[in-house]
């Protein structure tokens, strides 16, 4: 079983040659030892919908060989919807993609690797410590 869930921004950064994202993915992959990091099916969707034509082969290979894709089931959907409702009560907006990625991390008890920690920290998701995500945090 994986220990880490890789967020869309990290995968996008890797596919676009961002050194910080690649270094972060390699660091996490080294810690996995017996398995590979995971991504949510939502991450696959988010990345593939915005991919550049030059990224086709690289992304196909990445999703096939470098990570394990976790499905979105009713459990993730229910928890994701609850997170959206809770954030709305607090006066914050949580988009569907982030809600489902957070739900996946929470249900599988995975550490989320993201450059967008501010989106997930209020949700109780354990975040991988990083000083420099692909967006230069």
Task: Say which residue, 17 or 33, is predicted with more confidence.
Answer: 17
Q: What is the average pLDDT across 56-70?
A: 87
User: Measured over all CA atoms, what is the biggest interatomic distance in the chain, rounded to whole angstroms?
Assistant: 42
CATH class of the domain whose range is 4-123 = alpha beta
pLDDT, average across residues 92-118:
96
Of 12-16, 53-57, 82-86, the range with the lowest mean pLDDT is 53-57
Matching residue, tokens 């890797």 = 14
- pLDDT, residue 62, reads 86
CB-based burial of residue 107 (10 Å sphere; 0-12 exposed, 13-18 middle, 19+ buried)? middle
Q: DSSP H helical segments within the chain, as ranges?
A: 8-15, 19-32, 41-49, 56-65, 74-89, 96-108, 117-120
State the pTM of this model.
0.89
Domain parsing of the chain, residue ranges: 4-123
């Amino acid at each position: 079983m994986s220990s880490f869930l890789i967020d869309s921004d990290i995968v996008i950064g890797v596919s676009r040659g961002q050194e910080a994202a690649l270094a972060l993915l390699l660091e996490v992959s080294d810690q996995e030892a017996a398995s590979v990091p995971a991504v949510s099916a939502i991450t696959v969707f988010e990345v593939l919908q915005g991919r550049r034509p030059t990224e086709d082969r690289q992304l196909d290979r990445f999703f096939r060989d470098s990570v394990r894709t976790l499905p979105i089931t009713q459990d993730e959907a229910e928890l994701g919807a609850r997170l959206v409702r809770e954030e709305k009560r607090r006066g914050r907006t949580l988009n569907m993609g982030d809600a489902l990625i957070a739900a996946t991390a929470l249900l599988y008890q995975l550490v989320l690797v993201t450059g967008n920690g501010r989106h997930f920290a209020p949700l109780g998701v354990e975040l991988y410590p990083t000083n420099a995500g692909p967006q230069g945090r």
